[in-house]
Structures are given as structure tokens and as C-alpha cells.
Amino acid sequence: MVDSVRAAVAKLIVRGSQETDPAVAHYWRMPKYFFHITHDRTEIDREGEELPDEHAAWKEATVTAGQILQGIDGKLVPGWDWRMEVTDEFQNTLYVLLIQAQKPKVDRRRTRGCGRRRP
């Protein structure tokens, strides 16, 4: 079996092609990564994307997140977080990008009078 795999790999290198027989195809397939989004609802990525490695998946996640956040167009409001979860083909979570929209609670006693003392 090892010799047949080596022969097939050698054939690919010579041919410069990624076409393989089914016995060797497993060795040439790139891993698949999935990008699930949660905002006002969860959108599960069922297709995924083949990328060379986890670093490429991180780069794709950050670029895509930036594009999506630009398109939110004012729909991100305090109390509604935006989240992208990057998983591998076995659904192991690799990365989570989280944008939290919060409105801080203001202590009215501290802001009254703008901190000035009366003479």
C-alpha cells in the first residue's frame, strides 16, 4: 500500500495535477473550516471552506468579520452581541470572535455637578 501511495504521489508531482485516485485523494484534500455567525439569530455555515491550515482560517475569519460588521449598518445595539465561531471539519471550536455591545451604567451621583465644588 505504501508503495502504491508513493507511486501515485510521484505521478502527481510529475504531472503537476491534483487529480488523484480515491485511495490517494484523502492525502491531498485541504481541511475544511466553518464560520458560524450569531447576531440576532444563529446562522450555521453548512458548506465551510477548504483552507490550508488554522492560520488561514483565522485570517479568513478576521477579514470576513470586518466585512460583515461593516454591513451591520447600525443594527448592533447594546445588549446584542455579535459572534463568529470558527470550527474545523470535526466541529472543534478553534476561534471565537466576539463583539459585545454594552452601555455602561452611569453612577448619577458621581456625575452630578461635573465634579466641581461650590465655594
Does residue 2 surpass a pLDDT of 50? no
* 9 contacts: CB under 8 Å, gap ≥ 6: 24, 27
**Whole-model pTM?**
0.65
User: Using one digit for the tens of pLDDT, what is the confidence trace for 5-33?
Assistant: 444 444 444 444 444 455 555 567 899 99
Does residue 112 surpass a pLDDT of 60? no
* 93 contacts: CB under 8 Å, gap ≥ 6: 85, 86, 87
Q: Which residue has the higher pLDDT, 73 or 64?
A: 64
Domain boundaries, the chain: 1-29, 31-119
